[in-house]
Homo-oligomer: A and B are copies of this chain.
Amino acid sequence: MTGRDGGAELNAIEPSPVVILVRPQLAENIGAVARAMGNGGLFHLRLVAPRDGWPAERAFRMASGADRILDSLTVHENVADATADLHRVFATCPRPRHIIKPVLTARGASAEIHAIGARALKCGILFGPERAGLDNDDIAQADSLIRYDLNPDFMSLNLAQAVMIMAYEWYIARDPDAPVKTLQTNETDIATKFEINNFMDHLIRECDASGFLKNPQKRPGMVRNLRHFFQRGEATKQELNTLHGIIGELAAGRNACEAGS
């Protein structure tokens, strides 16, 4: 454990881009940014001329344990100094005007940042001060702009949320082919078709025995509909076992009665 109040064992995932906060105002927001970065696996933080100075205890209180990010950050006088060792710089800019530059979405920028990192080049992302945002001179030092695709009728991200979206996209873009849907089954497995059919045999046998399927005209359609239902949802072995048990239990009364009669 490291950090002032037992922060998490956060480590840099390399290569990862540098987050550069330009003239941030509230120390709390610097802490909230570190927390957002930790969620998305970002580690490198630089501050340009933080209004309240640095270090600031209030930042650590908002970092939810992302202390290592705050402990490792560096402070710079201006954007040129903060980006001096970088090869590519992106500027987040919600409403760019009169600027001729490539504009990427957070998703498009994340793909580029990974591609640039794979060439062993270093990237940075500029985030402007609360409310005012980056000024034109800051933006002129960037290669490309990042503009989030969000509701134009209500664009109101705070600083940590802006960093959160970028960190989230960057983290996901590590593995663009990761599955977006799985079935979590814990200690059981998805049932095979043999197991489903075995269950259907049991169910239909007991339905026949109980008289539920006694109408010969309707029986084939009813059996087919039952089969449709139980095929639909990727049943697990455990769930089928439970259903076998229920059928056995429900049928037990009649079976016992018949055995006794």
Which A residues lie at the B interface, using CB under 8 A? 8-11, 13, 35-36, 38-41, 64-66, 96-105, 107-108, 111-112, 145, 148-151, 153-157, 160-161, 164-165, 168, 171-172, 178-186, 188, 234, 236, 238-239
With A66-B154, A97-B186, A103-B181 known, 7 other A-B pairs at CB within 8 A are A36-B161, A38-B151, A39-B154, A39-B155, A40-B150, A99-B184, A100-B239
List, in ascending order, chain B residues with CB within 8 A of A178's CB. 105, 149
List, in ascending order, chain B residues with CB within 8 A of A108's CB. 179-181
14 pairs of residues in contact across A and B, judged by CB atoms under 8 Å: A8-B154, A38-B156, A39-B157, A41-B151, A65-B156, A100-B186, A101-B184, A102-B181, A102-B182, A102-B183, A104-B181, A108-B179, A149-B178, A150-B168
* A121 vs chain B, min Cβ distance (A): 16
Residue from A151, A157, A188 having most chain B Cβ neighbours under 10 A? A151
Contact at A103–B154, with CB atoms within 8 Å? no
Name the residue of chain B whose CB is nearest to the CB of A164.
Answer: B161
One of B97, B145, B153, B180 near A105 (C-beta < 8 A): B180
Chain A residues touching B, majority SS: loop
**When chains A and B are docked, how far (Å) is the Cα of A236 from the Cα of B182?**
46
**When chains A and B are docked, how far (Å) is the Cα of A150 from the Cα of B179?**
14
Contact at A149–B172, with CB atoms within 8 Å? yes
Contact at A100–B238, with CB atoms within 8 Å? yes
Known contacts A66-B154, A151-B39, A178-B149, A96 near B184 by CB under 8 Å: yes
List, in ascending order, chain B residues with CB within 8 A of A157's CB. 39, 164
Contact at A156–B186, with CB atoms within 8 Å? no
One of B153, B165, B188 near A8 (C-beta < 8 A): B153
List, in ascending order, chain B residues with CB within 8 A of A168's CB. 148, 150, 165, 168
